[in-house]
Structures are given as structure tokens and as C-alpha cells.
Structure 1
Amino acid sequence: MCGRFTITHPNEALAALFGAVPGNDLPPVPNYNVCPTTPIATVTSDAGQRRLRAMRWGFLPAWYKTPTDGPLIINARAETVATKPAFREAIRSRRCLVPASGFYEWSEGPQGERLPWYFTRADGEPMALAGVWQRWQDIDTLAIVSTEAGEGMAGLHHREPVILEAADWPLWLGEAGKGAALLMKPTAKGVLHPPYRVDKRVNSNRALGPDLIKSLAA
């Protein structure tokens, strides 16, 4: 599952990392509390030309008459993305990468409170989360693909976002033939840095600032 993440790397650096042409509508960075329904930077590929472009996080199926016509769809399950009517076409022909500097997950405290934890890559590089997208009217919208949790989730949740390594980006973006389904798997051991607890302020979608990712143990 992925319900909140950060993007602290500059858009210019992301464009260079992914070999993409940056759009002129990219959301400002850094953002330490990226929430659903907000515009986020994504990477797509059209005939081999990669673009870094803004999309709305929250997939809108073609049959929605308004953005609130049904549930807010922020994740697509790897196990069913190829068969769910909302995603069947998108997983075949509209896959994207979602750059993220890290993401949050929550555990339950002794009083039932939500305790946030922060995850990053162990190598400090940006993550490339697997996504699928859909144009709804004149809005490009997306969902982040999730899969069963691997060891790196430290037992905090039974789902995690699909994190793609650089060698797999061409296949996911449709530049290297078929077989993208094989990439939808738990993150390999050692890719994620051990998570650490952060302040509960991030539980609010209005919270801002770099202190949100400061370790409580620091």
C-alpha cells in the first residue's frame, strides 16, 4: 500500500536521472507530505521519448461522471490489475513511473493511535514506483501499483508499493517489449533502509516541512 510519500529531489535532477524531458507544469518541490488528489511528477514514454509530467494522484476510471463519482483509487493491486475493468487497458498500454524520495507507513500504537514510519532506499537514490494512468476528460490520473510486502516492510504492513530498479524501467515503460507483469513483486532484501519513526504530525494532510521526516530517535 502507498498512501503518502515525499519528493525532495529537484525536478531537474529527476529529469536527468530518468532521461526525460521535463514539462512546464511540474508541481513544486520539495514536498514532504504528498497526499492523494494532488498533482505529482510522473515519467511516461511515447515512442521511446520519456517525459516528466504532472498527473493527479487518484485514478479516475472512464465511466466516472465526476471525480467524486466513486471511491478514491490511489493504489492498484498487482494481483488483480490485469483483470479489474478500471485498470485492464492501463496496465497494457499506460504504465508510468512515480519518482519518490521516500514513503510513509503506519503501525498501531498501544492506545490504537496511528504511528508513522518513514521508508527510503538504502542507497539514498530516488525510488521509482510503478504506476498506471488514465486520461479522464482533460485530466491525467494515476494509481500506484502495490504488491504483497517483502522483508523490507519490517512487518508494518502487508502491502507495499512496487519499487522498480533502473534496469527495469524500460520494460515497465513499454520500451523493451513484453513481460512487465514479472516486475510486480516485493522489493528485494536490502533495497530499503530500515524504517524509522517520525512525528505524528504527518498524520495530517496539512502538515508541511522537512521536520516531518526527522527521526524521533535522532
Structure 2
Amino acid sequence: MCGRYALTLPHDAMAQAFAAKPANDLPDIPNYNVCPTVQVPVVVAGRRLVSMRWGFLPHWYDTPTDGPLIINARAETIAEKPAFRAAVRERRCLVPATGFYEWTKGSDGARLPWYFHPVEVEMLVFAGIWQDWGADRVPTCAIVSCAAGPTMAEIHHREPVTLDPADWGLWLGEEGTGAAPLMRAAPEGRIARYRVAPTVNSNRATGPELIDPLIED
């Protein structure tokens, strides 16, 4: 799964990486503690870099709090779930990240955060889905998750689906159909991890020190 992530690449660097046209209302970057319900930059078909609310809102929600907060969509059931099945067919997106966080529990029950980051490249790209919600057509998105691969499994049983650059066009629907096989765990060697300080446990925490490796006594 993915419940928090970091994004530090400037807007122009992301636009260049995706060959995308950036919108004028993109959220402030860097953000070392991207939390659910905030605005995040995503790439949609037509190679536009736009801002969306992280927290997918099904069309039957009358208010954003009418049901569970949906930040992830399970790959195994995404095509059947009423909330997601139209979006995964017609409205897929790319969600850039510098890295993401996950937690284990210490012997005393304390939440111990880990930071997962790409190996040899600057950016991870999550598979996402999106849809507009409400009379004002508020764009909202969720990150697709799958069963954890080797790097992630010791920490958590789920992980966000990450995409190679060669697969971006297929996920966006620019290169025909057949994107379902892309919803899989990252191959070994794509992502690495290390412990970080528990400061990030607070959703109000900010600053680059959140992704500094933890030096324990």
C-alpha cells in the first residue's frame, strides 16, 4: 500500500521527464510528507501534468466524508469494484514520487518508519486511477497497490504498483489495451529501503530531514 510519500522533483523536471504540459495550479514542491487528501501532481492521458486530490471519491459520495477514505485501489479487484472499474478502463494516471514510507512495529508497539526509494533513478512512478467528483468536478485519484515483492514483504504485505518509463504510455492508454499485466510488484533491485526517524509519524512534519537515514545509538 502507500499511505505517505515524498516528492521533491521540481515541476519543470517532472514535465520534462513525462514530456507533459504542466498546469498552472500544481501543488508546492518539495513535499517530504505527502498525506492523503492533499493536492498532488499526476500525469493524465494527453501528457498533461495536473493537480488532483489524493483520495478517490466515488460518484455516489454526497460529501468527501460519506464513506471510507480511498487512497489505494487493490490491483486484484480493481476491475470488478464498482468504485474503480470505469476508472481503471478509462482514466488511468501516473503519480510521481521521490519515495514512500511504510511502518513496522517495535517490541514496545512503537511505529517504526521506513523510507523506500528508487535505485539509480530520481523518481518512482506509481500507477494511479482518477475521476472527477461532484458538481464542481473535483479531480480525485488513488494509487494502485499489489501484493508485496521481495524488497517490501518483510515490512508490509502490500506495495504501490510502480511503472517503468517504457510502460507509461500503455498505462495511460496511449498505446492500446492490455495494461493489466503492469499491476505487479516491483522487480528486485528497483527499490531500496532504510529506517528514518519517527518524526515522520506526524502528518504535520515537514522538511528534508524526514528522509535522512536514521542513525541509532
What's the TM-score once normalised by structure 1's chain length?
Answer: 0.97
Deviations 1:184-212 (A, max 9, x none): 0010011012x111110101000000010
SS of corresponding position for 1:120: strand
Tell me, in whole angstroms, the C-alpha distance in 2 between the residues paired with 1:94 and 1:3: 21
2:88 pairs with 1:102? no
Segments of 4+ in structure 1 off by > 2 A?
A: none
> Deviation at 1:124?
3.0
Deviation at 1:154, TM superposition (A): 5.0
Residue matched to 1:34: 34
> Could you tell me how far 1:123 is from its partner in structure 2?
1.1
* Number of the residue aligned with 1:188: 187
More off after superposition, 89-98 vs 150-159: 150-159
Provide, for residues 103-145 of structure 1, a one-character-per-residue CA deviation record: whole Å limited to 9, x for no partner. 0010111111110000111113211100000100221000100
Secondary structure of 1:211's partner? helix
Q: 2: distance between equivalents of 1:9 and 1:143?
A: 20
Alpha-carbon distance between aligned partners in 2 of 1:147 and 1:61, rounded to the nearest angstrom: 21
- In the other structure, the counterpart of 2:211 is 213
User: 1:86-101 alignment to 2 at 5 Å?
Assistant: 86-101=83-98
Cross-structure match for 2:2: 2
Which letter does structure 2 place at the counterpart of 1:52? Answer: L
Q: What residue in structure 1 maps to residue 57 of structure 2?
A: 60
AA aligned opposite 2:146 = T
Structure 1 position 157, deviation (Å)? 0.2
Q: For residue 12 of structure 1, what is the amino acid of its counterpart?
A: D
The 3 A distance-change label for structure 1 pair 67 and 177 is same
Query: How far apart, CA to CA, are the structure 1 residues paired with 2:59 and 2:214?
Result: 43
Of 197, 200, 211, 2:198 maps to 200
Aligned to 2:116: 119
Q: CA deviation at 1:23?
A: 0.3
CA distance in 1, matches of 2:104, 2:84: 29
The one-character-per-residue Cα deviations of 1:54-107 (angstroms, maximum 9, x if unpaired) are 000000000000000001000000000000000010000000000000000101
Q: What is the Cα deviation at residue 153 of structure 1? A: 1.0
Opposite residue 83 of structure 1, the aligned amino acid is E
The corresponding residue for 1:70 is: 67
Amino acid at match of 2:204: R
Ranges in structure 1 where 5+ consecutive residues have no aligned partner: none
Task: Using structure 2 for the length normalisation, give the TM-score.
Answer: 0.97
Distance 1:93 1:154 in 2: 31
Three-state SS of the structure 2 residue aligned to 1:33 is strand
Alpha-carbon offset, residue 217 of structure 1: 2.9
Question: What secondary structure sits across from 2:47 in the alignment?
Answer: strand
Distance across 2 between alignment mates of 1:199 and 1:80: 34
AA in 2 matched with 1:151: P
Let me know the Cα RMSD of the aligned residues: 0.9
Counterpart among 47, 59, 62 of residue 50 in structure 1: 47
Query: What's the counterpart of residue 159 of structure 1?
Result: 158
